Amino acid sequence: MKLCNLLKGVEYSLLFGNEKISLNKIEYDSRKVNKGDAFVCVEGYSTDGHKYAKKAYESGAKLIVCEKDLENIDSYKDCTILKVSNSRRALAKMGANFYENPGDKIKIIGITGTNGKTTTTFMLKSILEEVGYKVGLVGTIANYIGNKKIESHRTTPESLELQKLFKDMVDAKVDYCVMEVSSHSLYLDRVYGIEFSEGIFTNLTQDHLDFHKTFENYYKSKLILFKNSKHSVINLDDSYGSKVSKDIKENILTYGIEKECSLKAENINMHSRGIDFEVEYKGRRESIALNIPGKYNISNALGCIGACILEGIYLKDIKKGLENMKSVPGRCEIVTKDYDLGYDVIVDYAHTPDGLENILNTAREFTKGRLISVFGCGGDRDKTKRPIMGKIGSDLSDIAIITSDNPRTEDPSLIIEDVVEGIEKNNHIVVENRREAIKKSMEIAKKGDVIVVAGKGHEDYQILKNETIHFDEREVIRDIIKELYD
């Protein structure tokens, strides 16, 4: 691609070389650079791409885009060097230009919030497919182009990979992309330049303060989505929902269960395998039966209903789409459905204080015996939430088993100490090995009990020091059932 086409919408100054060149592809990882490529120096949190500009040049980079001055610039012979004010934004615009602006050719619905993003994307995909649209999905569990599943390495990909994914969706004739939009991706400009048809706000509770440092920074990152959305669909039941509404002001549809809003759920009936409720919008009503339990999933459904109404979809079709969705991997997933154990084991991705509180309150609604929780906290992440989660897990469970999650580079026993520090009740057990902790919960379970294994959900790995091991809790639970009952 000619450089002039690659740089449309990018403000830059020429430091060195010739602008009348053509490039093969764009890279921000110097290890992937080949002859004739463009290399964008992106400053990260563990390393800085400017340090690898020379390596990219030696690998054949024809263009280097930087936001800092490079040392010995005269030594970059036969190479063009451009300076920009923000290399992440330049990367996003260049990526969009390189793939012929695919985001303009599909409708994109973005979901942000601490919890509920994944479930909401799956609900939206089910509704839109029910109406006959082909749907792409970008999210934590995996990316999808129609029914084709693509491995996901982070909630929201880096801008260059995201534009490539959009291009693949356009080539596959996708009509809608529904995507989780993380606070990291908003702050780090991974979705810079994208206009969303709808932005959905689910909730905002404590998470990622290791990255954002303050809750206000976390909130401001989330707000970016709605400044770049044609319409905003806001959960007014969440205390930060009204703040978003006031800050955005225009083109807003509000939803909720408790508060007065545009779209409301009423006549709620919750049971162990799902929820029945009525939705009301501008005098129209529809009864909906969700196949997944939990009051918070009504909120997730309402966000989807709001976005789909704005897209002109009828309530009766929205109802069919929601009722056709059987489950979401690792979200309040009852793993023991096919076994007659006398108790149930639920796997859930809850890894925040609010998420843990939600899943335990949901499980309590249909627990006839004791509620047993198994959970821990991840290493190298926000430490302030550990004692908070310890208290929530202990307070809301009859028995809490504190264990390891993804300790990463931290000592698992020290993480557990942080969690236990918040516990006030004498109802907890510490079992550091996660498999043994799950086994312990199943050994002590009695008829009518419910076990909630929280924190990892759909993940099939565990990160220990510098290695990642295979660890799929659904497989682990099935293996333990064989050990205990065969």
| Per-residue model confidence as pLDDT tens digits over 161-202 | 999 999 999 999 999 999 999 888 898 999 999 999 999 999
Q: Which domain holds residue 297?
A: 102-324
Residues 175 and 286 grouped into a single domain: yes
Residue 179's DSSP bridge partners are 110, 138
| Per-residue model confidence as pLDDT tens digits over 32-91 | 999 999 999 998 877 899 999 999 999 999 999 999 999 999 899 999 999 999 999 999
pLDDT band per the 50, 70, 90 thresholds, residue 466 = confident
What's the CA gap between 75 and 59, in Å, rounded?
A: 14
Q: What pLDDT score does 207 carry?
A: 52
The mean pLDDT of 331-352, rounded to a whole number, is 91
The CATH number covering residue 421 comes to 3.90.190.20
Maximal CA-CA distance, the chain: 76
The mean pLDDT of 398-416, rounded to a whole number, is 97
Helices marked H in 159-314 = 159-171, 183-187, 209-212, 215-227, 239-248, 295-310
Residues 319 and 345 grouped into a single domain: no
Residue with tokens 């049971």: 271
The mean pLDDT of 200-219, rounded to a whole number, is 70
Residue 299 and residue 291 in contact, taking contact as beta carbons nearer than 8 Å: no
Q: What is the pTM of this model?
A: 0.86
What's the CA gap between 125 and 176, in Å, rounded?
A: 9
| Per-residue model confidence as pLDDT tens digits over 7-37 | 999 999 999 999 999 999 999 999 999 999 9
What's the CA gap between 302 and 461, in Å, rounded?
A: 32
Q: What pLDDT score does 442 carry?
A: 98
| Per-residue model confidence as pLDDT tens digits over 120-172 | 999 999 999 999 999 999 998 999 999 999 988 788 899 999 999 999 999 99
Phi-psi region of 50 (alpha: psi -120 to 50; beta: other; left: phi over 0): alpha
Residues 200 and 89 grouped into a single domain: no
Last residue of a domain, one of 98, 126, 145: 98
Residues 306 and 416 grouped into a single domain: no
Number of domains in the chain: 3
pLDDT at residue 208 tops 60 = no
Residues 70 and 131 grouped into a single domain: no
Q: Which residue has the higher pLDDT, 113 or 166?
A: 166
Give the amino acid at 367: T
Annotated binding-site residues read 30, 113-119, 155-156, 182, 190, 381, 405-408, 455, 459
Q: What pLDDT score does 212 carry?
A: 46
Closest CA to 361 of 296, 265, 427: 296
Q: Give the DSSP letter of residue 403.
A: -
Q: What pLDDT score does 273 carry?
A: 75
Continuous segment of H or E residues that includes residue 117 = helix 117-131
The CATH number covering residue 258 comes to 3.40.1190.10
Residues 141 and 177 grouped into a single domain: yes
Residues 377 and 435 grouped into a single domain: yes
Neighbour order of strands in the sheet with 80-83: 13-16, 80-83, 63-66, 38-40, 26-27
Last residue of a domain, one of 267, 290, 324: 324
Residues 319 and 339 grouped into a single domain: no
pLDDT at residue 211 tops 90 = no
Residues 45 and 158 grouped into a single domain: no
Q: What pLDDT score does 197 carry?
A: 98
Annotated binding-site residues for meso-2,6-diaminopimelate read 381, 405-408, 455, 459
The mean pLDDT of 365-380, rounded to a whole number, is 95
Helix, strand, coil proportions of the chain in percent (round to 5)? 35, 25, 40
Worst-scoring range by mean pLDDT, 208-212, 364-368, 369-373? 208-212
Give the pair of three-digit tokens for residue 432: 């550091």
Residues 89 and 112 grouped into a single domain: no
Helix, strand or coil, per DSSP, at residue 484: helix
Residues 288 and 385 grouped into a single domain: no
Residue 271 and residue 368 in contact, taking contact as beta carbons nearer than 8 Å: no
Last residue of a domain, one of 295, 324, 353: 324
Across the chain, mean pLDDT equals 93
Annotated binding-site residues for ATP read 113-119
Residues 344 and 300 grouped into a single domain: no
